[in-house]
Amino acid sequence: MKTQWFLVLLFTVNAVFGQISFEAKPSKTTLGVNERLRIDFVMNQDGDNFSPPDFVNFKVVGGPSQSINNSWINGVRSFSKSYTYFLAPKKRGVFTIGQSTIEIDGEIYKTSPIKITVTAAVDIPKDPNDPSYIASESIHLVAEVSKTNPYLNEAISVVYKLYVAENTGVRNWSEIDTPRYNDFWSQNIEVKGLSVKEGQYKGENYRYVVLKKAVLFPQKTGKLVIEPLTLDVSVEVPSNRRDIFGRLTTTTTSRTVTAGRRTINVKPLPEKNKPADFSGAVGKFDFNVVTSKNSMIASEAFTLRLEVSGKGNLKLFEIPKPSLPATLEVYEPEHKENIATQLSGMRGSISDNYTVVPNEKGQYPIPSVSFSYFDLESKSYKTIPSNQIIVSVAADPTVSSVAPESSSDYNTNRNTASEQFSSFKTETTFVPIQKKPFHGSGLFWVLFLGPLLLIPLTIIVTKKRRDRALDVEGNKIKQNNKLALKYLGEAKSRIGAKDEFYEALDRALHKYLKAKLKLETSEISKDKILELLKNRGVFQSDIETFLGVLQSCELARYTPLDTADMKRDYSAASLAISALDKQLK
């Protein structure tokens, strides 16, 4: 009886401990866009052919690392094996990490999908003993807002600056979360190149670059939120180690920085003394109503132009419409804009141009038109009326009755037409051409023997072309060398002298873009290059490599670099030019 109970117990233990499990264990399911996520894929029996999921919307910043735990406690074996990844989210949202697979004892096991919620950036507790803490104290992303309590439709600006402390370098960065301007009319202002400037952050000396600019016009009153800009930055900070010459070495670490939310308290426009024809114009404006001419004949068109010029929200309101006499034929207006958008707001003019046609003579008055706007300087409403215009229309002198032709005039014209071709000759004097036999002529033999002679020549040329086409590696090397010599020769000769090398490398890359994309120097910007290369069908990875080299050139002036870094950037530039040249036809 005891033997039977022992067998039952042994079978139960084997069934419990023999059950295979394979699961994914995330460190958290909700995190900020500036945080890291750890995920472990754990199994209780050894397996092979592990296949991780495709981490879409996440960047793998660490791993995979493998660990095995095998122990015996009181005669009971405990085994676990895990694969660990560290992930950084690329943007906000709710994402699913798919299934991973493992093969155990010939069977395939899968984990369950996991939903991860990524929120806006959060405050992370700082550990002074963590090397990342040094980077967090040395680099800061700041959003500078020109005004936090504007009126409705008043222009404000936001400028994003990256501050970097001395003895700290920035290798590169990537944008994780783009700022969102909900309830604002917004327009980005192009930043042409990265200009390193000296400044102060919280009373200390820093260097900074302006990364992004935007002008905003609030479209609602109350508290509006500007969502933060978040970057993943590769930072080089001093370490406590020294090289063989006694110099301090640097350590590269990845740091996520955010500009933080900014709250804008938008004031409503005053209701007191608001004009009835007010259409939302805010700023400082002039208003003019003019005609292309004031005197004309009937059926002759003229142009009536209503123009608003000045500084303010020019794109966000409508020009008043004129009231014209019913006897004038008026066509739909042509709207024209001549506006420059800067950090201070919009400046320029907008106009509606009406084509007007009077069909009868007379005096036509064009009544006065008024335009109202809210003046930010005086904080009051202004109304500008136009002068009344009189258009004088005279009768059309070309409109008169025409007498029909008489029968005698018709016969005379007919006879004249029949006689006007009498001088043309109607007889010919053609001479026959003497024909010579084609067979046996020189041209005959050239056409007959020429193709036969071309056959062996064609075979030789085709064979050489085929051999060159099959030599893929040789062609790649030749192409890389040719482009490197053409565009990168000067930079290669400067390796070792940091400033001169990166200036030459930057100049070579821009010359290449100007040659291939037919760009002017004033048109070259990161966004413009990205747009043009995408439109030309260049692979995203090749675009990122090329832009990364350009960014390295811009950051080299305040980043500690050595010869190895320069050689690496030169090689990356050569490969990037080669890859782009194959795709830009």
All domains of the chain, ordered by start, with CATH? 15-119 (2.60.40.10), 131-266 (2.60.40), 284-394 (2.60.40.740), 472-583 (1.20.120)
In the chain, DSSP finds a helix count (H) and a strand count (E) of 10, 30
Distance of alpha carbon 407 from alpha carbon 289, whole angstroms? 56
Both tokens of residue 396?
Answer: 């059309």
Where is mean pLDDT largest: 10-14, 129-133, 256-260, 293-297? 293-297
Contact 105, 66 (CB under 8 A): no
Contact 157, 344 (CB under 8 A): yes
pLDDT surpassing 70 at residue 15:
no
Judge residue 156's burial from the number of C-beta atoms within 10 Å of its C-beta, 0-12 exposed, 13-18 middle, 19 or more buried. buried
HSE-up of 501 (CA within 13 Å, CB side)?
Answer: 24
Please state at what angle helix 472-487 crosses helix 498-517, rounded to 10 degrees: 110
Distance of alpha carbon 393 from alpha carbon 226, whole angstroms? 57
273 phi and psi, to 5 degrees? 65, 20
pLDDT score recorded for residue 434? 55
- With a pLDDT cut of 70, the percent of the chain lying above it is 77
pLDDT tens for 345-387 read: 999 999 999 999 998 899 999 999 999 999 999 999 999 999 9
pTM over 0.75: no
Distance of alpha carbon 107 from alpha carbon 508, whole angstroms? 56
How far apart, in Å, are the Cα atoms of 510 and each of 113, 191, 489, 514? Answer: 46, 16, 14, 6
Distance of alpha carbon 93 from alpha carbon 305, whole angstroms? 49
> Residue 552: helix, strand or coil by DSSP?
helix
Contact 82, 38 (CB under 8 A): no
CB within 8 Å of 492: residues ≥ 6 apart = 484, 570
Per-residue pLDDT, averaged over 445-463, amounts to 76
pLDDT score recorded for residue 421? 40
pLDDT score recorded for residue 380? 95
> Residue 353: helix, strand or coil by DSSP?
strand
Contact 289, 319 (CB under 8 A): no
HSE-up of 404 (CA within 13 Å, CB side)?
Answer: 2
Confidence class for position 283, pLDDT limits 50, 70, 90? very high
pLDDT tens for 306-324 read: 999 999 999 999 999 999 9
Query: Residue 136: which region, alpha, beta or left (left: phi > 0; alpha: psi -120 to 50)?
Result: alpha
pLDDT surpassing 70 at residue 433:
no
Distance of alpha carbon 177 from alpha carbon 141, whole angstroms? 13
Distance of alpha carbon 282 from alpha carbon 343, whole angstroms? 16
Confidence class for position 418, pLDDT limits 50, 70, 90? very low
